[in-house]
Structure formats: C-alpha cells, structure tokens
Amino acid sequence: MSKQGYEQIGVAMTCRSFEEYVKMFGLQQSELKIGAVLDVAAGGSSFTAEANERGYSAFAVDPRYGAGMEEWINEAKQEIDTSTAKLAKVKDHFDWSYYGSLENHRASREASIQRFAEHVHHNVTNHYIYGMLPELPFSDDQFSLVLCSHFMFLYADQFGHEFHIKAILELMRICKPGGQIRIYPLISLNWEPYPKLEELMDVISLYKGRAELIASDLPFIPKSSHYLKISM
Ligand SMILES: C[S@@+](CC[C@H](N)C(=O)[O-])C[C@H]1O[C@@H](n2cnc3c(N)ncnc32)[C@H](O)[C@@H]1O
C-alpha cells in the first residue's frame, strides 16, 4: 500500500448490522417509525431485516440484488475473511472502543450476514430491490428516511465528484418533503476527507435541502466522526 488507508479494489459487499446503523446515523425510534426507510447501497447489511423485525418499514437497494442473489451472499460471507485480514494489518489505526476486538468485529459481521440471508430468502421480491446510483428505481418523495452507509464518499476516487452530485440529487428526489437523508462516512478509503464536500453542500442548498454535519456515535474508522444529514 503506497498511501495510508484501507486497501480495496472495486466496491466490496459488506454487511453491517442494525445496531451499527443506529450508532453511525444516531437513529431514534421516532425517526424510524415515521414512514418508509430506504437503505441505499445496502449490500449484505442486516439493517432491513432487523428493522422489519422491529416493526419498521424498511427496504434495501443495491446493484448486487436480483438474479444470482445466492452468489452475492457467498461473496459477502467471503468478504468477512478478506476484510478481517486487511483490518488486522492496519488495526492500530482504528478505534476499537465499540467493537472491543477484531474477533468481535468479525462475529458481528457473521451474525449480520446470517440475518440478511434468512430475511432475503423470504422477502427478496418485496424488500430487496435491484438498483444503482445515480438512478434509483423509485418515484419522487417515496421515503421518509434514506440511509447510505459505506458507499458514497468512501469510494470517491473511483466514482468522482460528478457522480456524487448526481447521486445526492437522486437521493433528494426520492426523499419526502420533511424527510431526511443520512450518509456516512465522509472520508475515502485513504482516510482523506471528501475534498469537495462544501461545494456539494452548496448544491444541496440550491436544491432546497439543508445539509449539516452531525456527530456520529460509531467510533471506528480514522478521522470519521461525522455523518452528513440532509433535511428536505
Ligand atoms: C461497502 S458495501 C456497504 C454495504 C452496507 N451498506 C454496509 O454498510 O455494510 C458497498 C455497497 O455498495 C454497492 N454499490 C456499488 N455501486 C453502487 C452504485 N452505483 N449505487 C449503489 N450501490 C452501489 C455495492 O454493491 C456494495 O454492496
């Protein structure tokens, strides 16, 4: 690795849990039950499975959904081995106060992909939707809360600024007036802050969204203490 950071080629399919989402986005029960929630770039996350188990109305969208779902589930399972090995190499840069250890981090991912797989087997057609930014297969104003964990900004080097502008405007299009969009983290895989965040926040204002940086409660990734909240 020439630069500092987390080594990654292409976009990995990871599988964070409901609890990790609650912490990273500071989610309150009242915010989750207000209407339909969409997890964008949801990958193998069990957020949708666990949110529905709790009685919320949650949906997931990702380009890996659709045909061949079993293959993707296996890929996400393998990614747990891959990411654990990579994390071990740069372990000292991370804050382990939430996970406790690499072993706990791994166990949490294994539990999450298991819940995801079980939920997918029974609900694939109505909760897991094939789609990719910057164009999502939803109508205007469809969701009260739109979440995006570990895709936008993180892969900024691969996707570029134009993509990020289009993607944000798309998330704003599908979010209801009065709804919110939350995105985390705001750094790249090299742990560098997104260089054009202020410019992006100006575009958001131009399209009548209110952008704020809010403290996240999931200490882990270096220099990654805030999420982006957009109120519509
Ligand atoms: C690192 S995973 C994050 C998964 C989950 N949100 C989590 O936090 O564990 C990134 C996901 O982004 C998805 N992805 C890749 N390109 C995308 C695009 N253009 N639009 C939406 N999602 C995309 C990948 O398929 C992958 O599942």
Predicted TM-score of the model (pTM): 0.96
Mutate to test the pocket of ligand 1, among 11, 47, 86 (most ligand atoms within 8 A of CB): 11
Domains of the chain as residue ranges with CATH = 18-231 (3.40.50.150)
Q: Is the CB of 12 under 6 A from ligand 1?
A: yes
| pLDDT value for 68 | 83
Q: Which of 49, 43, 45 is nearest to 13 (CA)?
A: 43
Decide if pLDDT at 153 tops 80: yes
Q: For the residues 205-215, what does the mean pLDDT come to?
A: 97
Tokens standing for residue 38: 């969409």
Residue holding tokens 């409901």?
18
pLDDT in tens, 51-66: 999 999 999 999 999 7
Helix orientation angle between 102-127 and 69-89, rounded to the nearest 10 degrees: 160
Q: How confident is the model at residue 1 (pLDDT cuts 50, 70, 90)?
A: very low
Q: Is the CB of 170 under 6 A from ligand 1?
A: no
- The proportion of the chain whose per-residue pLDDT surpasses 90, expressed as a percent, equals 86
pLDDT in tens, 22-41: 999 999 999 999 999 999 99
Mutate to test the pocket of ligand 1, among 151, 154, 188 (most ligand atoms within 8 A of CB): 151
Q: Is the CB of 203 under 6 A from ligand 1?
A: no
5: left (phi over 0), alpha (psi -120 to 50) or beta: left
pLDDT in tens, 115-134: 999 999 988 789 999 999 99
